[in-house]
Amino acid sequence: MPARVHAPTPANLRRLAAALRQGELVAIPTETVYGLAAHALDAKACRAIFRAKRRPANDPLIVHVLDLSHAEELAEFNPAARRLARHFWPGPLTLVLPKKPCVPSIVTSGGPTVAIRVPAHPLARRLLRLAKIPLAAPSANLFGYISPTTAAHVHEGLGARIPHILDGGACAVGVESTVLDMTNPRQPRVLRPGAVAVAELENFLGVKVHGAKARGARSRQLAPGMLERHYSPRTPLVLRPPTSQTPPAGTAIVWLRKPPGQKSMKDIFWLSRRGALAEIARNLYALLRQVDAGSYRQIWVEPLPEGAGGLAAAINDRLRRAAAKR
């Protein structure tokens, strides 16, 4: 039976909260992307996430909670991590910290740390409040494919594999959360760039924030989104300034902003009319999905300038992983 798409009525929210408590899967909106949620302390429910997504067991899940007090029931917080949580939550920052024994090993891929955040989306928060349980919720798509930012995207990919989708409209941010490893507060590491910029974290913490290298597909991942190839369309994607050469036949061209004076729009797309980073991030996955469905032989995408910070770093990160060789 195909997934039922639920409007966000009070009755439906109560129904979905009960379904989550009973171990069912529910795709939910967050401010970043749609997540496939399950009871985070129910190992059987979390295993169902891996099956539905065809996700390898070595790629851990992010746990979503209502507030810092609930997060401290699941993870060991140091003072610096606690300050970060109080400043950036609710919001698109995930903290990696030592897990407490109540967190099932399936959630952490057998590792000693758990990735945890407090979402800002009002519907995600209402569900957390009603369900009264933490929710493990990776992106609600088949593993490795472009993340979903609308309920329709979820239905296209997982509609035959899950029972419930909560429709919360389009996601406001459009790329996944920043993942920050705070197990050693003196040497914080960004495991995945996102909407919270490295410079912002460094200014707040007063220390250098390091990066982390991608791990091989067969090794245990420290956090989601660290694989060299991820967020990928089925059509081969090439990072290339569109004006660098004449593209071969069957190529879709994706510009960051609408090309000035462009007359012919055939096979040409853009992410923002004026090149605004927030709009580029918000439209990125939806446009890649649209172009991927267009029977093109390849997709050329204009990258952002190297060294650009903030959302630009997150956008380029997603594009590099999408373009990585199969």
Stronger pLDDT, 132 or 212, i.e. the higher one: 132
223 within a domain of the structure (yes/no): no
* In 132-267, beta strands by DSSP E: 135-136, 164-166, 178-181, 189-192, 210-211, 237-239, 251-257
Rounded to an integer, what distance in angstroms lies between the CA atom of residue 52 and that of residue 39?
Answer: 15
Both 12 and 148 in one domain: the answer is yes
Does the structure show a pLDDT above 80 at 159?
yes
Q: What is the pLDDT of residue 297?
A: 96
**267 within some domain:** yes
Q: Is 229 inside any structural domain?
A: no
Please give the pLDDT value at position 266: 82
Q: What is the C-alpha separation between 116 and 127, in angstroms, rounded?
A: 17
In terms of domains, do 9 and 47 share one? yes
pLDDT band (50, 70, 90) for residue 247: confident
pLDDT at 191 (0 to 100): 95
Give the chain's mean pLDDT.
93
Q: Look at residue 148 in the predicted model and tell me its pLDDT.
A: 98
Q: Are 170 and 30 in contact (CB under 8 A)?
A: no
For 61-74, what is each residue's pLDDT tens digit?
999 999 999 999 99
Q: Would you say residue 276 has pLDDT above 70?
A: yes
What value does the mean pLDDT take over residues 147-171? 98
Of 117, 99, 111, nearest in space to 177 by CA: 117
Identify which of 23, 28, 115 has the alpha carbon closest to the alpha carbon of residue 63.
115
Phi-psi region of 156 (alpha: psi -120 to 50; beta: other; left: phi over 0): alpha
Number of structural domains (the chain) is 2
Whether residues 169 and 135 share a domain: the answer is yes
